[in-house]
């Protein structure tokens, strides 16, 4: 029966697709667990480093270091775009690039030149499709293991900022709020604005932490060893590096959760499809049996 | 005296978080010991040891490869690049790493940047070895395979 055979073939193909998506879901779940433990471990460090900067910024004037100085006129902006290497993670990268385009429109509506530095293949392709100005691309590992891996990109933006090539540097990444929710986010890296960004998941979670509540005003000035300039020169670039590292880890945790859910949705959709196809198959089979019986009955009736 | 809240963190983990009586670290200008009510201080760390003293406990020994320390009245934060407890360091592997770093410095140095990288590596390994030897010395009576 041609009809039933076609349906049967469809069912078989959907079933094997489901097997694949199911396997990918499990792989993504395992990777997500790994990425989430890493991102949580690093949050303490980056929060404490950020806390130190907040304390320092309260005590120092902005003119003490170039990194604190708000440019008078913003002419050129650099954006680091942290995306994924692989697809099949829903609208993850599209949303992120949307957010970047949005922030370009909001932050500098007057013609400000924006340069994009991409990390990850999919973000690069998407940005190119949107005709954004890509100037550099750094390869991204699927699981970033240490902060040394991103030091080259950190070095690039810091150098460009110090050379006054960029007046502001942003980083666009997907913040990991929970395994169910990831929020694309554009954060200012340079110059350093010493305020707590409430929108970020981890600062909201850990706001109770005593670190930000310490009232520095009551203290005498900081002592710097060997001296302030050397400390700031060493510490602030390191902070930028840590922030990029943290963003990359957040993005990885988000990527794997997004992929896990995309794959779970695909598996569920495949199940639904198999169900309705099976129903159609059974109906077709039943119809053909009925037709056959009717034919036999008609045949025997004709003989009599 | 009111104890200090000490936090030692690396990008990978929280190594130490507890109330302590005093902590010694080696900064760019030499070794310093921080007691409660120290005035606010920010300094860079050199590869070396961290010694933590707590009430009623043996002193804790850790190696650090560099980083920063921030001191506020009763809170000390050490942002280390990498750090390990003495118990975790494998003496033999530290020795091998030193040998490797020394060889690389002689054979493969191409530019100043690489030289700086290798010598930082070497300094870090020397600090680790120093810490683990010191730890073993003070724990002679403990059998080698203790806790394994």
Give residue A204's pLDDT band: very low, low, confident or very high (50, 70, 90).
very low
Report whether pLDDT(A206) > 60.
no
The share of chain A scoring above pLDDT 70, in percent, equals 88
Residues B76 and B8 grouped into a single domain: yes
Which of A65-69, A162-166, A214-218 has maximum average pLDDT?
Answer: A162-166
Query: Residue B148 falls within a domain, yes or no?
Result: no
Query: Residue A71 falls within a domain, yes or no?
Result: yes
Cβ of A44 within 8 Å of Cβ of B73? The answer is no
Partner-chain residue, chosen from B10, B29, B40, that has the shortest CB–CB distance to A226:
B29
Query: Residue B143 falls within a domain, yes or no?
Result: no
Pick from A256, A251, A243, A3: which is nearest to A140 by CA? Answer: A251
Partner-chain residue, chosen from A219, A231, A245, that has the shortest CB–CB distance to B44:
A231
Domain that holds residue B45: 4-86
Cβ of B42 within 8 Å of Cβ of A222? The answer is yes
pLDDT reported for residue A111:
60
Residues B13 and B68 grouped into a single domain: yes
Residues B76 and B109 grouped into a single domain: no
Residues B10 and B81 grouped into a single domain: yes
pLDDT reported for residue B142:
56
Q: How many residues are there in chain A?
A: 304
For the question of residue A230 being annotated catalytic, the response is no
Count of domains observed in chain B: 2
The residues that bridge with B49 in the sheet, in sequence order, are B63
Question: Which of A:226-245 have CB within 8 Å of B?
Answer: 226, 230-231, 234-235, 238, 242, 245
pLDDT reported for residue A53:
83
Backbone angles phi, psi at A81, to 5 degrees: -110, 110
Q: What is the average pLDDT score of chain B?
A: 83
pLDDT reported for residue B144:
58
Which of A189-203, A210-224, A259-273 has maximum average pLDDT?
Answer: A259-273
Query: Residue A20 falls within a domain, yes or no?
Result: no
Q: How many residues are there in chain B?
A: 148
pLDDT reported for residue A167:
86
Give residue B133's pLDDT band: very low, low, confident or very high (50, 70, 90).
confident
pLDDT reported for residue A260:
93
Q: What is the average pLDDT score of chain A?
A: 84
ipTM entry = 0.78
Domain that holds residue A70: 27-205+215-259
Report whether pLDDT(B46) > 50.
yes
B1 and chain A: CB distance < 8 Å anywhere? Answer: no
* Alpha-carbon gap, residue A202 to A176, rounded angstroms: 8
* Alpha-carbon gap, residue A291 to A283, rounded angstroms: 12
Decide: residue B18, CB within 10 A, 0-12 exposed, 13-18 middle, 19+ buried.
middle
The residue-averaged pLDDT of B61-89 equals 87
The residue-averaged pLDDT of B121-137 equals 82
* Alpha-carbon gap, residue A100 to A184, rounded angstroms: 9
Report whether pLDDT(A57) > 90.
no
pLDDT reported for residue A217:
59
Query: Residue A6 falls within a domain, yes or no?
Result: no
Give pLDDT tens digits for A76-127.
888 899 999 888 888 888 889 988 888 888 766 666 788 889 998 998 898 8
Report whether pLDDT(B14) > 80.
yes
Min distance A227 CA to chain B CA atoms (Å): 8
Whichever domain contains A225, its CATH number is 3.40.1380.10
Token pair of B113 as six digits: 């940047």
Interface contacts A/B by beta carbons within 8 Å = 83
Residue among B4, B17, B39, B72 with most chain A CBs within 10 A, to mutate: B72
Residues B37 and B71 grouped into a single domain: yes
The neighbour count for residue A264, using CB atoms within 10 Å, is 16
Report whether pLDDT(B147) > 70.
no
Token pair of B82 as six digits: 């990498």
Report DSSP state, residue A68.
G
* Alpha-carbon gap, residue A195 to A68, rounded angstroms: 12
- Per-residue burial over B77-113, b = 16 or more CB atoms within 10 Å of its CB, e = otherwise: bbbbbbbbbbeebeeeebeebbeebeebbeeeeeeee
- Residues B23, B4 contacting (CB under 8 angstroms): yes
Backbone angles phi, psi at B3, to 5 degrees: -70, 165
Token pair of A204 as six digits: 């909201």
Cβ of B73 within 8 Å of Cβ of A55? The answer is no
Residues B114 and B64 grouped into a single domain: no
Q: What is the DSSP string of B88-147?
A: G--HHHHHHHHHHHHHHHHHS--SHHHHHHHHHHHHHHHHHHHHHHHHHHHTTTS-TTTT
């Amino acid at each position: 029966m041609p009809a039933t055979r076609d349906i049967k073939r469809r069912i078989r193909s959907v079933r094997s697709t489901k097997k694949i998506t199911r396997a990918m879901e499990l792989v993504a779940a395992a990777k997500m667990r790994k990425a989430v433990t890493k991102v949580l471990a690093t949050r303490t460090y980056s929060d404490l480093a950020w806390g130190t900067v907040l304390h320092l910024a309260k005590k120092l004037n902005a003119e003490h270091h170039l990194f604190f100085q708000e440019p008078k006129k913003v002419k050129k902006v650099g954006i680091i775009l942290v995306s994924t290497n692989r697809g099949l993670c829903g609208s993850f990268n599209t949303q992120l690039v949307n957010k970047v385009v949005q922030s370009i429109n909001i932050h500098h509506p007057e013609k400000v030149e924006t340069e994009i530095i991409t990390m990850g293949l999919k973000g690069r392709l998407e940005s190119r499709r949107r005709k954004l100005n890509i100037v550099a691309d750094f390869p991204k590992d699927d699981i970033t293991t240490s902060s040394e891996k991103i030091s080259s990109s950190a070095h690039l933006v810091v150098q460009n900022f110090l050379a006054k090539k960029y007046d502001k540097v942003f980083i666009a990444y997907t913040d990991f709020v929970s395994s169910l929710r990831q929020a694309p986010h554009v954060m200012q890296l340079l110059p350093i604005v010493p305020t707590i960004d409430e929108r970020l998941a981890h600062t909201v979670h850990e706001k109770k932490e005593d670190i930000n509540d310490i009232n520095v005003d009551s203290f005498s000035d900081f002592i710097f060893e060997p001296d302030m300039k050397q400390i700031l020169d060493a510490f602030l670039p390191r902070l930028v590096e840590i922030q990029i590292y943290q963003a990359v880890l957040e993005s990885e945790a988000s990527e794997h959760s997004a992929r896990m859910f995309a794959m779970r949705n695909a598996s569920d959709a495949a199940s639904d499809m198999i169900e309705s196809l099976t129903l159609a198959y059974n109906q077709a089979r039943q119809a053909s049996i009925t037709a056959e019986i009717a034919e036999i009955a008609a045949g025997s009736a004709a003989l009599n | 005296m009111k104890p200090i809240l000490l936090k030692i963190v690396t990008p990978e983990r929280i190594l130490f978080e507890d109330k302590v009586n005093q902590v010694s670290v080696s900064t760019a200008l030499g070794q310093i010991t921080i007691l409660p009510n120290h005035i606010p201080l920010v300094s860079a760390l050199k590869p070396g040891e961290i010694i933590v003293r707590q009430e009623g406990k043996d002193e804790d020994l850790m190696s650090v490869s560099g980083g920063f320390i921030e001191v506020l009245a009763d809170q000390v934060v050490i942002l280390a690049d990498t750090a390990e407890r003495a118990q975790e360091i494998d003496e033999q592997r530290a020795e091998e790493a030193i040998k490797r770093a020394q060889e690389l410095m002689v054979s493969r140095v191409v530019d100043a940047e690489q030289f700086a990288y290798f010598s930082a590596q070497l300094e870090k390994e020397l600090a680790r070895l120093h810490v683990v030897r010191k730890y073993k010395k003070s724990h002679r009576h403990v059998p080698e395979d203790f806790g394994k």
